[in-house]
Structure 1
Amino acid sequence: MSRHVLILVENLPVPFDRRVWQESRALVEAGYAVTVVCPMGTHAQESDVTLEGVHVLRYPLDPAQGGVLGFVREYAVAMFHTSRLALRVARARKVDVVQACNPPDLLFLVALLLRPRGARFVFDHHDLVPELFLSRFAGGGRALYWVTRLLERLTFACADGVIATNESYRAVATGRGGVDPSRVTVVRSGPDLSRFVQFPPDPRLRRGKRFLAAYLGVMGPQDGVDYALRALYALKNDLGRTDLHCVFMGAGDVQQQMIALSRDLGLDDMVEFTGRVPDEFVQRCLSTADVCLSPDPKNPLNDVSTMNKVLEYMAMSCPIVSFDLAEARVSAGGAAVYATPNDVTDFAARIDELLRDEEVRREMGRRGRERIERELSWNRSREALIGFYDALFELDR
Structure 2
Amino acid sequence: MKTTSFRNRAVQQPRVLIIVENLPSPFDRRVWQEATALYANGWVVSIICPTGKGFERTHELLEGIHIYRYKLPLEGDGPLSYLVEYFAAISHTFRLAWKVRKNHGFDVIHACNPPDLLFLVGGFFKLLFKSKFVFDHHDINPELFEAKFGKRGTLWRLMVLLERLSFKVADVSLATNESYRRIAIERGGMDPDKVYVVRSGPKLERLRAVPKNDDLKLGRRYLVGYVGVMGKQEGLDYLLKAVHYLVYRLGRSDIQFCLVGGGTSLEQLKQMAIALKVDEYVTFTGRVPDQQLLEVLNTADICVNPDVFNEMNDKSTMNKVMEYMALGKPIVQFDLAEGRFSAGESSVYASPNDPEDLAIQMASLLDNAQRRSAMGELGRARIENELEWKYEVPKLLAAYQALNIVHVR
Written as runs of structure 1 = structure 2, the 5 A alignment for 1:155-194 is 155-194=166-205
Aligned to 1:130: 142
Written as runs of structure 1 = structure 2, the 5 A alignment for 1:213-292 is 213-292=224-303
Q: Would the aligned equivalents of 1:9 and 1:102 in 2 still touch at CA under 8 Å?
A: yes
Aligned to 2:221: 210
Match of 2:78 among 67, 71, 76: 67
In percent, how many aligned pairs have the same letter? 48
Written as runs of structure 1 = structure 2, the 5 A alignment for 1:359-374 is 359-374=370-385
- The more displaced of 200-209 and 228-237 is 200-209
Q: What amino acid maps onto 2:206 in structure 1?
A: R
Deviation at 1:145, TM superposition (A): 1.3
CA distance in 1, matches of 2:406, 2:106: 17
Q: Would the aligned equivalents of 1:87 and 1:114 in 2 still touch at CA under 8 Å?
A: no
Deviation at 1:125, TM superposition (A): 0.3
The reply on whether 1:39 has 2:15 as its aligned counterpart is no
Deviations 1:205-225 (A, max 9, x none): 211000010001111111111
The reply on whether 1:12 has 2:23 as its aligned counterpart is yes
Structure 1: runs of 5 or more not aligned:
none
Deviation at 1:65, TM superposition (A): 4.4
CA RMSD of aligned residues (A): 1.4
Match of 1:121 among 116, 133, 140: 133
Per the alignment, in what secondary structure is the counterpart of residue 149 of structure 1?
A: helix
Match of 1:27 among 18, 34, 38: 38
CA distance in 1, matches of 2:178, 2:398: 17
CA distance in 2, matches of 1:96, 1:230: 50
CA distance in 2, matches of 1:293, 1:341: 14
Deviation at 1:288, TM superposition (A): 1.6
CA distance in 1, matches of 2:249, 2:352: 19
Q: Would the aligned equivalents of 1:136 and 1:222 in 2 still touch at CA under 8 Å?
A: yes
After TM superposition, the score normalised by the length of structure 2 is: 0.94
CA distance in 1, matches of 2:130, 2:16: 12
Q: What amino acid maps onto 2:139 in structure 1?
A: D
CA distance in 1, matches of 2:253, 2:140: 39
- The more displaced of 364-373 and 221-230 is 221-230
CA distance in 2, matches of 1:125, 1:157: 13
Per the alignment, in what secondary structure is the counterpart of residue 222 of structure 1?
A: helix
The reply on whether 1:311 has 2:327 as its aligned counterpart is no
Aligned to 2:3: none
CA distance in 2, matches of 1:164, 1:349: 35
Aligned to 2:163: 152
Q: Would the aligned equivalents of 1:134 and 1:145 in 2 still touch at CA under 8 Å?
A: yes
Deviation at 1:64, TM superposition (A): 3.3
Q: Would the aligned equivalents of 1:64 and 1:73 in 2 still touch at CA under 8 Å?
A: no
Number of aligned positions between the proteins: 396
Aligned to 2:5: none
Q: What amino acid maps onto 2:23 in structure 1?
A: L
CA distance in 2, matches of 1:34, 1:347: 43
Q: What amino acid maps onto 1:45 in structure 2?
A: E
Residues 262/126 of structure 1: CA separation in 2 closer, same or farther (3 Å cut): same
Residues 357/66 of structure 1: CA separation in 2 closer, same or farther (3 Å cut): closer
CA distance in 1, matches of 2:53, 2:215: 28
Q: What amino acid maps onto 1:358 in structure 2?
A: A
CA distance in 2, matches of 1:122, 1:66: 28
Aligned to 1:53: 64
Aligned to 1:348: 359
Larger RCO (CA under 8 A, 6+ residues apart): 2
Deviation at 1:113, TM superposition (A): 1.7
